[in-house]
Chains A and B, each alone.
Chain A
Amino acid sequence: MTTAAIPYTVEPRPDTGLNNVKLGIWLFLASEVMLFGALFASYILLRVGAPPGTWPEGATILNVPLATLNTAVLISSSVTMVMAWASCMKRDLGKFRLYMGLTVLCGVGFLIIKAIEYGAKFQHHLLPSTNTFLAIYFTLTGLHALHVIGGMAVNAWFWGPGSKMWHTAHQQFTNRVETAGLFWHFVDLVWIFLFPILYLL
């Protein structure tokens, strides 16, 4: 591999106090905010534009208990994620493996529950094409699910092969776990808004 030695990949640049990846991930999250922002905007426009009475209340179609459970699952995964990072700080590989593993499992759990929800909808022929509410529901949750999968892939990597770096470049490994964590928390954060907007209102 040839890349010239690029400064501040691990240690922070003094005047900004940040390393490149930290700034990079936050910028990425900024663009993500705009992505979901646009979809929320669409939700608002479609909902206020809908002829009175034609917009179904989420709860009447969707499965609130399951979604509540899913919210809990995702929140838990967030806390295990941050714990995994804390274990890096404390250089406790065993704990790290444990928490990171739990995080990934929570991700899996979340997706399974989501899959069950989707399946139920499809059975009752509630499809994206049924009405604009379901259209935005499937689009938003689908996109969110893609993010969950992406985050899980990264986390799984750090849990498994990636953790080789634990000994070779611990500080950098910690930074990366933090970065992956930031993304994961963001995914959680998005859900925290999706849940009431789609299911409860």
Chain B
Amino acid sequence: MAQPGTAEREERHDDHSAAHEADHQLGFWRRVVFSVDHKVIGIQYTVTSLFFLLFGFSLMMLARWQLANPGEALPVIGALFGASRMPGGVMLPEFYNQLGAMHGTIMVFMGVVPLAVGGFGNFVVPLQIGAPDMAFPRLNMASYHAYFWGGVIMLASFFVPGGAAQSGWTSYPPLSDIAPTGQTVWLVGMIFLITSSLLGSINFIVTIIQLRAPGLTFFRLPFFVWAQFVTAFLLLLAFPPLEAASFMQLMDRVAGTSFFLPSGLVVTGQALEVSGGGSPILWQHLFWFLAHPEVYVLILPAMGIIAEVIANNTRKPLWGYKALVYSVVGIGFLSFVVWAHHMFLTGMGTVMNAFFQTTTMIISIPSVIILTALILSLWGASMRFNTPMLFALAFLPMFGIGGLTGLPLGLSAADIHLHDTNYVIGHFHYVVAPGTIFALFAGIYYWFPKATGRRMSETLGKLHFWPSLLFMNGIFFPMLIQGMAGMQRRLYDGGASYSHAQDVLWWNDVMSWSAWGLGLTQVFFIVNFFWSLKKGAPAAANEWQATTLEWSAAPSPPPHGNFAVQPVVYRGPYEYSVPGMERDYLPQDDPSETAADTGSGHGLPDPVPAE
């Protein structure tokens, strides 16, 4: 609420601040912990969220043991979790539910979003638009700290009596209203995380609108910036309803209100002592009003990264830049009117049901267009298969599977059979794991040299990529098969006791082994990451012969203030292999003559949109 205050305090120092005060004049705290430099904050976000990703993944590697071997003691480490979680190494159902709920929460709100938006957005956007920093550096720092403490609170919830939240990442009441203390902590944590995202989104929108370099019109923005721009609006307008809902659930839990509790509840034989009169469905509306846009928050920045990497490694302009931009904007709008496709089976009548099915089908079209444009961008390319490119290319079919499996879910009649089965789990993991996570890996391999001034090892990179691709499919494709057979999700026994699941049970082993294999594979990445920090080969300023400002106009790593001189932009973002130039890339800020004749592209597609 004190945000305007923050905004005020924001630029109080700016006017006094000397343009390029060097970092090393500051102590450790100012430089690292309380830095207001977007690059430092971006790296803070990146490292923190990578840690959370690994943690969230570990939760599921643990849960997958129980799914593969229901009721069997987990050797060696099992016992370490204590009698309240895994007595004698055997996992308790309540702990399994905690793992599921926290995995979802951590991956979405503490892993992917902070990495994609907080990490890449913070580090790359100002550089790509030729800005010295974010518009509100102090606010930026505040966002990170809100995120950090939100994360700490979430982790702490594992240690409160009764353990962490265990009502799913969706936290549907009444279950979540009557759940143990962990749920309260979850709500508080969420409020921190939401606040962080809100402050961040304001910062991004203002930065992108106000701080673009001279000549950098909207249709000259790198696609990544567009993706971040739309994402910021989704966060800005979709998160507040969940914040409101979290307040209400908090009231239900601590102040005894009945926002989500109807009259006449009987829990374990006892009538619940509440006023009643609430509506459980209200929560679902408010939750999904956020959570559907949220899923596009998970994918749009990823698509942005993919576009950058593909353009750079095909050495040619993206195919249909404008179509991409319009599609991403269209997705942004539409994502606010499809939320109830998660609620088809709450007793919806035909009319609203038809409405939400239709919007859901419509929103799939822009995604098809984006995928198509990205694939067609490969035509006529001169592809370099370096590690970032490999992850970027793999993203396309993987997202394809994830997206396509969204269609049967979007058709409510088909959803009757598939709702809340592992098919849903398979669907969205294909988009978020081999989809988004791969895109994030691509981004790390791509921008690591810029951020650290050192290259990552290609060998380790490829050792990381191929097994990851294999195992990802090993985990998630079977989910589609199990779901098709009707196996429910969130089953502590992995479906072992169900008649209809018998034929597909054996897949559980495949999936679990793949998950552990995937975990092992990440060692290549972690080693590569830390080894390259120290020992990686020094990187050139424009390591990838790229056209966008972060590469062409700033050294690696960029100094405080980013650019020695304010870059000026003369053309669109992806002027690769321009005819009549022997150098195969023409940076946005290169004033050379060829600029003129590539001004607004000739022929199809229009590579540099007309101004």
Contacts and interface: CB of A to CB of B under 8 A. Distances in A.
B237 A24 contact: no
Contact of B275 (A6, A8, A129): A129
B452 interface: no
A123 interface: no
Nearest to A149: B1
Main secondary structure, interface of A, reads: helix
Interface stretch (A60-68, A85-93, A97-105, A176-184): A176-184
B36 A20 contact: no
Q: Is the interface of B mostly helix, strand, loop or mixed?
A: helix
B159 to A, nearest CB: 29
B599 interface: no
Contact of A180 (B8, B22, B238): B8
Interface hub of B11, B211, B248, B263 (most chain A Cβ within 10 A): B11
Contact of A135 (B20, B206, B251): B251
Chain B: interface size category: 35 or more
Nearest to B242: A38
A52 interface: no
A21 B10 contact: yes
B3 interface: yes
B282 interface: yes
A153 B560 CA distance: 33
B277 A131 contact: yes
Contacts of B22: 2
B239 A31 contact: yes
Contacts, number: 212
B7 A28 contact: yes
A20 to B, nearest CB: 5
B206 A20 contact: yes
B416 interface: no
A23 B247 CA distance: 27
A131 to B, nearest CB: 5
A6 B278 contact: no
B279 interface: yes
A4 B21 CA distance: 7
Given A41-B286, A51-B263, 4 more contacts: A2-B36, A5-B17, A42-B282, A129-B274
Interface of A: 1-10, 13, 16, 18-21, 23-25, 27-28, 30-32, 34-39, 41-42, 45-46, 49-51, 54, 127-132, 135-136, 138-139, 143, 146-147, 149-151, 153-154, 157, 162, 169, 172, 176, 179-180, 182-183
10 contacts: A4-B133, A7-B132, A20-B135, A27-B201, A27-B206, A31-B202, A31-B236, A38-B289, A128-B255, A135-B251
Interface of B: 1-5, 7-8, 10-11, 13-23, 25-26, 30, 36-37, 131-133, 135-137, 139, 198, 201-203, 205-206, 209-211, 236-241, 243-245, 247-248, 251, 255-259, 263, 274-275, 277-279, 282, 285-286, 289, 560-562
